[in-house]
Amino acid sequence: VRTAVVIPAAGRGVRLGPGAPKALRALNGTPMLIHAVRAMAASRAVSLVVVVAPPDGAAEVKSLLDAHALPERTDFLVVPGGEERQDSVKLGLDALPPDYDIVLVHDAARPLVPVDTVDAVIEAVREGATAVVPALPLADTVKEVEPATVPGDPEPVVATPERARLRAVQTPQGFDRATLIRAHETVTGNVTDDASMIEQLGETVVVVPGHEEAFKVTRPLDLVLAEAVLARRRL
Ligand code: CTP
Ligand code: MG
């Protein structure tokens, strides 16, 4: 069974602040996207990586991939992305050749995920799971609030879900290809990950252990952490 990875990398990175699209920003001298591509290609099970580039940046991403050493056993495709993350993932799925039965979706914004996590996700799909997400227990207690109608007003707390039952989910998320494509063709509305689309189909999603280093680079402080992790790895 062959495995492909779709890497949505088309976001602006608004929360990171002004600058190049997030995936193209450097971490210790190498673009975040290249770290993410290497993290996926590090798995011997991955034979194709589809990078979903910023809409006007496909040519730049192609030359970046050419300029960096990547494993020979892996094929690469680059397609332009869309308005929302979901649109970008869909455009990546549309570009998949037929002979891949397992598809992983991995945020370019999680450049440091260890290969063991990637392999654990693939293994769980190979063993029969329809959808697999890496996840970690939460450190913070989480409150549901009634969002303020006037920005800045105090927000009343509605509920406190039991923390021990909550998980923070990461990527790569792994899928049976046909089910993921069905989800992207039928589920509408705003979602923040691919697994939730599978849930909306009524299919089962399972969790495997995530990893601290699979954190998402979202705000400026995350860049500091990512560069420190790379320095510790001497990359
Ligand atoms: N993404 C994408 N296409 C979009 C929006 C997001 O491919 N239209 C990708 C991002 O490039 C990122 C991943 O989805 O790798 C997760 O999204 P997020 O961390 O929210 O990145 P951005 O949307 O770029 O950041 P922000 O929300 O702060 O603008
Ligand atoms: Mg976003």
Domain of residue 58 covers: 3-135+168-233
Q: Among 97, 53, 104, which Cα is nearest to 75's?
A: 97
Structural domain includes residue 163? no
34 has pLDDT over 90: yes
Q: What's 128's domain CATH number?
A: 3.90.550.10
| Protein residue closest via CA to atom 26 of ligand 1 | 13
Residues 149-155: contacts with CB within 8 Å, 24+ apart? none
167 has pLDDT over 90: yes
231 has pLDDT over 80: yes
Q: For residues 25-32, give the mean pLDDT.
A: 97
What band does 235 get if pLDDT is binned at 50, 70 and 90? low
Share the mean pLDDT of the chain: 97
* Probe target for ligand 1 pocket from 107, 171, 190, with the most ligand atoms within 8 Å of CB: 107
Measured from the alpha carbon of residue 88, the closest ligand is 1
Dist. CA 177 → ligand 1 center (Å): 22
CA–CA distance, 7 with 9 (Å, rounded to integer): 6
77 has pLDDT over 70: yes
Entry pTM:
0.97
Structural domain includes residue 185? yes
Q: For residues 42-64, give the mean pLDDT.
A: 98
Structural domain includes residue 58? yes
Structural domain includes residue 118? yes
187 has pLDDT over 90: yes
Ligand 1 pocket (Cβ < 6 Å) reads: 8-15, 22-23, 52, 81-85, 88, 107-109, 216, 218
| Percent share of the chain, pLDDT over 70 | 100
What pLDDT score does 234 carry?
82
Dihedral sign (CA 214, 88, 53, 23): negative
Structural domain includes residue 140? no
Residue 82 makes CB contacts below 8 A (sequence gap 6+) with 10, 55, 88, 90, 91
Q: For residues 90-107, give the mean pLDDT.
A: 98
| Protein residue closest via CA to atom 23 of ligand 1 | 11
Dist. CA 107 → ligand 1 center (Å): 8
Measured from the alpha carbon of residue 7, the closest ligand is 1
Structural domain includes residue 141? no
Structural domain includes residue 160? no
Write out the residues surrounding ion ligand 2, Cβ under 5 A. 11
Q: Among 225, 220, 215, which Cα is nearest to 18's?
A: 220
The two three-digit tokens of residue 155, written as one number: 């927000």
Dist. CA 81 → ligand 2 center (Å): 13
State which ligand 1 atom lies nearest to the alpha carbon of 89: 7
Number of domains in the chain: 1
* Probe target for ligand 1 pocket from 24, 49, 85, 184, with the most ligand atoms within 8 Å of CB: 85
129 has pLDDT over 90: yes
80 has pLDDT over 80: yes
